[in-house]
Amino acid sequence: MTVDVSTIYLLDVATGESVEAELRDAIEQPQLDDWQTKWQPALLAVLQELARKGVPMSQWPQSWHWNWAQKTARVQGLLAFRGFSVVAQGETQGLAQVDLTKASREPCQVGKPVVYLDYLEVAPWNRPEFGTAPRLRGVGSALVTAAVALSDEEGFKGRLGLHSLPQADAFYRRIGMTDLGQDPAYQNLRYFEMTAEQARAFLEQE
According to the binding rule CB under 8 A, does residue 33 interact with another protein?
Answer: yes
Backbone region of residue 63 per phi and psi (left: phi > 0; alpha: psi in -120 to 50; beta: other values) = alpha
What's the CA gap between 101 and 87, in Å, rounded?
27
Tell me how far apart the alpha carbons of residues 116 and 75 are, in angstroms, rounded to a whole number: 14
- Give the one residue of 46, 87, 121, 158 binding another protein; rule: CB under 8 A: 121
Among 23, 27, 87, 194, binds another protein (CB under 8 A): 23
Query: Looking at 105, 154, 176, 180, which residue binds another protein (CB under 8 A)?
Result: 154
* In the complex, minimum distance from the CB of residue 107 to another protein, in angstroms, rounded to a whole number: 14
Task: Say whether residue 41 binds another protein (CB under 8 A).
Answer: yes
**Per CB under 8 A, does 157 bind another protein?**
yes
CA distance 30 to 112: 35
Q: Helix, strand, coil shares of the chain as percentages rounded to 5?
A: 40, 30, 30
Interface with another protein (CB under 8 A), residue from 46, 115, 189, 194: 189
Q: Which x/- pattern, by CB under 8 A, does the window 46-85 give for another protein?
A: -xx--x-----x--x-xxxxx--x--------xxx-----
Question: Binder to another protein among 93, 109, 178, 198 (CB under 8 A)?
Answer: 109
Does 174 bind another protein (CB under 8 A)? Our answer is yes
Using CB under 8 A as the binding rule, whether residue 6 contacts another protein is answered as: yes
d(CA 175, CA 4): 26
* In contact, 147 and 160? CB cutoff 8 Å: yes
Q: Does 37 bind another protein (CB under 8 A)?
A: yes
In the complex, least distance from residue 44 CB atom to another protein, rounded to whole angstroms: 5
Q: With binding defined as CB under 8 A, does residue 156 bind another protein?
A: yes
User: CB of residue 40 vs another protein: minimum separation in angstroms?
Assistant: 5
Q: Applying CB under 8 A, does 162 fall inside the site for another protein?
A: yes
Q: Does 111 bind another protein (CB under 8 A)?
A: yes
- 149 Cβ neighbours under 8 A, 6+ residues apart: 158, 203
Half-sphere exposure of 72 (CA within 13 A, CB side): 20
115/80 Cα distance (integer angstroms): 10
